[in-house]
Amino acid sequence: MTVGEFAARPQLSEDVARFVRTRIFDGTYAAGRYIRLEQLAAELGISVTPVREALFELRAEGLLAQQPRRGFVVLPVTRRDITDVSGVQAHIGGELAARAALAVSPEQLAEITSIQDRLEAAYDGDDADLVVRLNHDFHRAINVAAASPKLAQLMSQITRYAPEAVFPMVSGWPARSTKDHRRVIAALAAHDEDKARTAMSEHLADGAEPLIAHLLSCGVLHPEH
């Protein structure tokens, strides 16, 4: 999402939170930087209310701290942050995929496959936002097919802590993700819960190290962290 899009969109704090989260993980907002409410609201062309709500949300996620009379400051991102989130995603995501393998309907499987087709086409284009959205849609469709709404809701909450928008920029990730997604689809089509669980768990867990390497190269992570 670009700055110019905010004025034409509903003033939702989730959009602002996603925007700031992306800037943290791409190194634009470095650790120790202060984010000013009024300045960010003016940049985005919106009121301070959704910006304030977004920054409180990011504080709850551990990405920002609030300093008395100074505003919100960006906290360091650590290796442990990345591996912890990835590990929890792998465990819950694997269970959801296993349940989806048993419950997925032909219509749902067709939808999941269609989303993956469009995702692969988007990788060949130059629209990072579309890639992120379609990747999210792919995982969400599997989680919905699992028919376990509470577990899917928990997964959705955890995913907020993962820098989804960064993955398209990680070297080699599009090809790796495509291979993993096709492996998951094959397991779903075979209604094989064990293979679906393993494929999804490995896909989500294996993203940690390439992501860490990318964040190190961008200066978002420091070697000692």
CATH code, domain with 107: 1.20.120.530
Say if residue 130 is in the same domain as residue 113: yes
**Spatial distance between the Cα atoms of 217 and 43, rounded to a whole number of angstroms:** 28
Q: Which of 74, 90, 121 is the last residue of a domain?
A: 74
**Spatial distance between the Cα atoms of 212 and 44, rounded to a whole number of angstroms:** 29
Query: 141 pLDDT exceeds 60?
Result: yes
- Residue 83 domain-assigned (yes or no): yes
- Residue 66 domain-assigned (yes or no): yes
> Residue 67 forms beta bridges with which residues?
71
Token pair for 3: 């700055």
**List of E strands, the chain:** 34-35, 64-67, 71-74
Say if residue 94 is in the same domain as residue 177: yes
Q: pLDDT value at position 116?
A: 97
Torsion of CA 141, 117, 94, 146, to 10 degrees: 30
Say if residue 49 is in the same domain as residue 109: no
With H, G, I as helix, E, B as strand and everything else as coil, classify residue 47. coil
Say if residue 173 is in the same domain as residue 85: yes
**Spatial distance between the Cα atoms of 199 and 179, rounded to a whole number of angstroms:** 10
CB contact at 8 A, 75 and 222: no
Give the count of domains, the chain. 2
**In the predicted model, what is the mean pLDDT of residues 188-213?**
95
**In the predicted model, what is the mean pLDDT of residues 189-210?**
95
> Residue 74 forms beta bridges with which residues?
64
- Residue 193 domain-assigned (yes or no): yes
The CA-based angle 153-158-161, given to 5 degrees, is: 145
Band of residue 127 on the pLDDT scale cut at 50, 70, 90: confident
Backbone angles phi, psi at 34, to 5 degrees: -95, 135
Q: Which of 59, 74, 89 is the last residue of a domain?
A: 74
Listed in sequence order, the DSSP H helices in 61-105 are 79-103
Task: Quote the DSSP letter at residue 74.
Answer: E
Say if residue 199 is in the same domain as residue 146: yes
Say if residue 86 is in the same domain as residue 43: no
With H, G, I as helix, E, B as strand and everything else as coil, classify residue 202. helix
CATH number, domain of 64, equals: 1.10.10.10
67-108 confidence digits (pLDDT tens): 888 889 999 888 898 899 999 999 999 999 999 999 999 999
CB contact at 8 A, 202 and 12: no
**In the predicted model, what is the mean pLDDT of residues 37-46?**
92
Say if residue 33 is in the same domain as residue 132: no
Say if residue 45 is in the same domain as residue 86: no
Residue type, 77: V
Q: pLDDT value at position 5?
A: 59
**Spatial distance between the Cα atoms of 153 and 135, rounded to a whole number of angstroms:** 17
Residue type, 22: T
- Residue 222 domain-assigned (yes or no): no
Say if residue 42 is in the same domain as residue 70: yes
**Domain membership of residue 108 as a residue range:** 79-217
Q: Which of 74, 93, 126 is the last residue of a domain?
A: 74
Where is pLDDT greater, at 95 or 222? 95
Say if residue 136 is in the same domain as residue 196: yes
Query: 221 pLDDT exceeds 90?
Result: no
Say if residue 117 is in the same domain as residue 144: yes
Q: pLDDT value at position 126?
A: 74
- Residue 144 domain-assigned (yes or no): yes
pTM of structure: 0.81
Say if residue 90 is in the same domain as residue 67: no
